[in-house]
């Protein structure tokens, strides 16, 4: 078989009735598709002479594919913006002649014309992709026809499509979707679904609409696979599904097994990146988490710091290249992924530079410092720790919502909704430990209320003197104890405030001994959800007595003294 | 006016999606749930679909445009549940 699948250009075949695009509502033949290529070229002819670069973004796989081929065959190249955010597109404009596709100001194809075929030479740059660089600035990566061809040939030899219909649930603005959902069907003369398949119900209906003998492959990612509903009648349609592919982030083993059980098809995970191309794969079922390098790829772990060293035919250089991921060699040629050594994360399957997000937050009014972190599963979303000017700290629900809305709105200019932080922790002082570090433990402490809905939101502690401290807290809107206390006017019950006080005194002042009694306890002001409060604690060890006062903008919510028995806590 | 069902759905959305800065009172029944408004995304749409199946036994249709129409705001979502609930 040819090792230059793209340059074989199967879309030029004189095979007018071949199916290129499929939807339950109809199909697109190769003749139709060639006319679309011609129509794009007619549009490009009005814009510039060949040899330019165009920004291309379109959610419709066939519109995207026909535009890409029109550019290549005309002698142009494409730059694929990572998303359609205004700031992303503005950054791309300076590098390109014009925008094509479903973005503001994007050109659309003119009406039908015969396509012109050109020359796709190996070393020519076919396109540029973006990847989030670890410094925070997006990195632009060129791909030559030879590089794309090397990958496409590898995938084709491992898992040939053999005419199966490709159904995609991922964006083709990124390397994985581009290769698997667009270029592979094009070079293997196989059909692709004529739209993105966003929902499991859509997948089910499409499979049901195909005739008995049709076969498909699903190009997917962890977010949709982790959320496949059990309630759809998969056994009725799944014999038409030959394989499932997943990439973008590791698929948890349990989600992999569940996918295989529901869809009864092999699940193959790909590991790689825009800069490196594909590196390795693994299948379900699997005995362990290890990855097998793709043919032609060599992998080893750095002896000192576990960094992945990679030698790949898809890279410009044939030398060993050091990567930011850390690995452990399994001893049989395979390897385990240990995680990133830099601040690049996967959020909802999207690669994101946390440094870039931190900087974007720090550019907002009133923000002094920001640090974003990936929240533990099952959320997997972003949490933000934000130090604000003291005057800007929100002290009640409405102000907090407004502040968050303003930050979200600002971030939405440059980031997709998926990666915008979901949990916000506003602090007055940067929550470092005694060594001046924002540690993993501190970060975990700031978000612990998400895992235990009986706890207050902890926003920092300051020791004022020996045995004394101030703890900043917020009352979570979803606090478990609020439910049903007073209908329509939720407040924190006094007993809960006492429990918080007791717990925080043990945590921060090392109070031990069983609780024995309370005295002089008062609850002067009701405490509703969303309030920001300070808990002042004063421990008199000689008397085993804790003085406390919980106060906020309306004054005191709780105060009193708590006595503890000497000895072990109970 | 918010109906009991709308209130229940607000709580369902908040709990399912673990929204922490939102109370049921904050959700305007006519405001878009996605992108603007609550700022939800395609992963939330999948989660919400699962929650509707679990709580109300509702199967969503395959046409993603149709699904999105039901998810437009709280009122359209409540109408969907009203019309299609089996439990």
For residue B63, give the chain A residue with the closest CA.
A202
Name the minimum distance, in Å, from the CA of A242 to any CA of chain B: 21
Q: Is A118 a residue whose pLDDT tops 70? A: yes
Measured distance CA(A268)–CA(A284) in Å, rounded: 7
Find residues 187-226 of chain A whose CB sits inside 8 Å of chain B. Answer: 198-202, 204-206, 223-224
pLDDT of amino acid A566: 83
Q: Is A222 a residue whose pLDDT tops 60? A: yes
Mind listing the domains of chain B with CATH numbers?
4-84 (1.10.1200.10)
Measured distance CA(A63)–CA(A66) in Å, rounded: 5
Mean pLDDT of the A310-319 span: 87
Mean pLDDT of the A409-430 span: 93
Q: Is A279 a residue whose pLDDT tops 90? A: yes
Measured distance CA(A34)–CA(A551) in Å, rounded: 71
Cβ within 8 Å, pair B60-A422: no
Residue pLDDT, tens place only, A304-314: 889 999 999 88
Which residues are A246's β-sheet partners? A220, A269
For residue B24, give the chain A residue with the closest CA.
A477
pLDDT of amino acid B21: 86
pLDDT of amino acid B64: 63
Measured distance CA(A362)–CA(A343) in Å, rounded: 16
Tell me the average confidence (pLDDT) per consecutive run of 10 residues in chain B, 87 residues long: 86 91 90 83 89 90 73 91 87
> Chain A partners of B62 at a C-beta cutoff of 8 Å?
199, 201-202, 204-206
pLDDT of amino acid A137: 76
Find residues 508-547 of chain A whose CB sits inside 8 Å of chain B. Answer: 529-530
Query: If pLDDT is split at 50, 70 and 90, which confidence band does A270 have?
Result: very high
- Label residue A254 exposed, middle or buried (CB < 10 Å: 0-12, 13-18, 19+): exposed
pLDDT of amino acid B1: 58
Query: If pLDDT is split at 50, 70 and 90, which confidence band does A568 have?
Result: low
Find residues 410-449 of chain A whose CB sits inside 8 Å of chain B. Answer: 412, 416-418, 420, 422-424
Residues 6+ apart with CB under 8 A from A434: none
Mean pLDDT of the A156-168 span: 97
Domain boundaries, chain A: 343-451, 452-570
pLDDT of amino acid A111: 83
For the domain bounded by A452-570, which CATH number is listed?
3.10.129.10
What percent of chain A clears pLDDT 70, i.e. is strictly above it?
Answer: 97
pLDDT of amino acid A569: 52
Mean pLDDT of the A14-20 span: 97
* A474 interfacial to chain B (CB closer than 8 Å): no
> Chain B partners of A420 at a C-beta cutoff of 8 Å?
39
Interface test with B, best of A171, A422, A457, A489 (most B CBs within 10 A): A422
pLDDT of amino acid A408: 93
User: CA-based angle A21:A27:A30, to the nearest 5?
Assistant: 60
pLDDT of amino acid A481: 76
* A395 interfacial to chain B (CB closer than 8 Å): no
* Of the partner residues A404, A420, A478, the one whose CB lies closest to the CB of residue B14: A478
Q: Is A132 a residue whose pLDDT tops 80? A: no
User: The complex's ipTM?
Assistant: 0.90
* B11 interfacial to chain A (CB closer than 8 Å): no
Interface test with B, best of A167, A202, A380, A398 (most B CBs within 10 A): A202
Query: If pLDDT is split at 50, 70 and 90, which confidence band does A63 have?
Result: very high
Mean pLDDT of the A231-245 span: 95
- Domain A343-451 fold is GMP Synthetase; Chain A, domain 3 (3.30.300)
Read off φ and ψ for residue A330, nearest 5 degrees.
-85, -10
pLDDT of amino acid A485: 59
pLDDT of amino acid A121: 95
Q: Is A344 a residue whose pLDDT tops 90? A: no
E strands along A248-398, which residues? Answer: 267-273, 277-284, 292-293, 298-301, 307-311, 321-329, 335-340, 344-347, 350-353, 367-374, 382-388
Mean pLDDT of the A481-486 span: 66
């Amino acid at each position: 078989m040819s090792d230059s699948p793209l340059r074989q250009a199967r879309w030029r075949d004189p095979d007018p009735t071949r199916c290129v695009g499929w939807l339950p509502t109809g199909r697109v033949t190769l003749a139709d598709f060639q006319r679309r290529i011609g129509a794009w070229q007619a549009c490009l002819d009005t814009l510039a002479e060949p040899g330019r670069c165009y920004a291309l973004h379109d959610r419709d796989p066939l519109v995207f594919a026909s535009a890409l081929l029109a550019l290549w065959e005309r002698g142009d190249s494409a730059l694929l913006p990572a998303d359609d955010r205004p700031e992303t597109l503005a950054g791309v404009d300076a590098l390109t002649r014009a925008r094509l596709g479903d973005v503001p100001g994007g050109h659309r194809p003119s009406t039908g014309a015969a396509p012109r075929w050109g020359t796709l030479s190996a070393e020519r740059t076919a396109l540029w992709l973006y990847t989030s660089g670890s410094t925070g600035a997006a990195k632009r990566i060129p791909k030559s026809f030879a590089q794309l061809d090397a990958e496409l040939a590898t995938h084709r030899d491992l898992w040939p499509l053999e005419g199966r219909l490709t159904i995609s649930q991922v964006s083709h603005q990124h390397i994985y979707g581009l290769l698997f959902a667009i270029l592979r069907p094009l070079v293997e003369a196989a059909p692709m679904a004529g739209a993105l398949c966003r929902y499991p119900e859509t997948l089910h209906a499409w499979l049901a609409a195909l005739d008995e003998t049709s076969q498909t492959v699903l190009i997917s990612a962890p977010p949709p696979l982790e959320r496949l509903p059990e309630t759809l009648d998969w056994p009725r349609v799944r014999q038409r599904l030959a394989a499932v592919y997943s990439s973008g982030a590791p698929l948890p083993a349990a989600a992999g097994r569940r996918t295989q059980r529901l869809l009864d098809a092999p699940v193959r995970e790909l590991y790689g990146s825009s800069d490196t191309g594909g590196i390795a794969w693994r299948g379900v079922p699997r005995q362990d988490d290890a990855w097998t390098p793709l043919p032609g790829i060599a992998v080893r772990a750095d002896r000192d710091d576990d960094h992945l060293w990679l030698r790949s035919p898809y890279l410009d250089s044939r030398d060993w290249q050091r990567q930011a991921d850390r690995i452990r060699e399994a001893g049989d040629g395979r390897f385990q992924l240990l995680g990133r050594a830099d601040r690049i994360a996967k959020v909802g399957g999207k690669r994101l530079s946390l440094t870039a997000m931190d900087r974007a937050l720090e550019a907002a009014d009133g923000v002094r410092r920001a640090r974003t972190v990936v929240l533990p599963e099952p959320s997997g979303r972003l949490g933000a720790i934000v130090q604000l000017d003291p005057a800007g700290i929100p002290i009640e629900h409405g102000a907090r919502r407004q502040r968050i809305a303003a930050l979200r709105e600002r971030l939405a200019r440059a980031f997709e909704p998926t990666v915008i932080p979901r949990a916000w922790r506003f602090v007055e002082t940067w929550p470092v430990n005694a060594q001046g570090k924002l540690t993993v433990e501190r970060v975990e402490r700031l978000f612990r209320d998400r895992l235990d809905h009986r706890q207050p939101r902890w926003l920092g502690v300051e020791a004022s003197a020996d045995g004394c401290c101030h703890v900043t807290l917020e009352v979570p809107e979803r606090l478990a104890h609020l439910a049903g206390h007073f209908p329509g006017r939720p407040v924190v019950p006094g007993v809960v405030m006492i429990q918080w006080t007791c717990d925080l005194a043990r945590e921060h002042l090392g109070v031990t001994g069983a609780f024995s009694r309370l005295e002089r306890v008062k609850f002067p002001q009701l405490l509703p959800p969303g309030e920001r409060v300070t808990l002042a604690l004063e421990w008199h060890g000689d008397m085993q007595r804790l003085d406390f006062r919980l106060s906020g903008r309306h004054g005191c919510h709780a105060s009193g003294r708590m006595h503890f028995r000497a000895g072990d806590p109970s | 006016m918010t109906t009991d069902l709308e209130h229940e759905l607000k709580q369902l959305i908040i709990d399912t999606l673990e929204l922490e800065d939102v109370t049921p009172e904050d959700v305007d029944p006519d405001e878009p749930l996605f992108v603007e408004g609550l700022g939800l995304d395609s992963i939330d749409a999948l989660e919400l679909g699962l929650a509707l199946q679990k709580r109300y036994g509702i199967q969503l249709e395959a046409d993603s445009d149709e699904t999105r129409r039901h998810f437009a705001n709280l009122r359209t979502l409540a109408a969907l549940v009203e019309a299609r609930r089996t439990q």
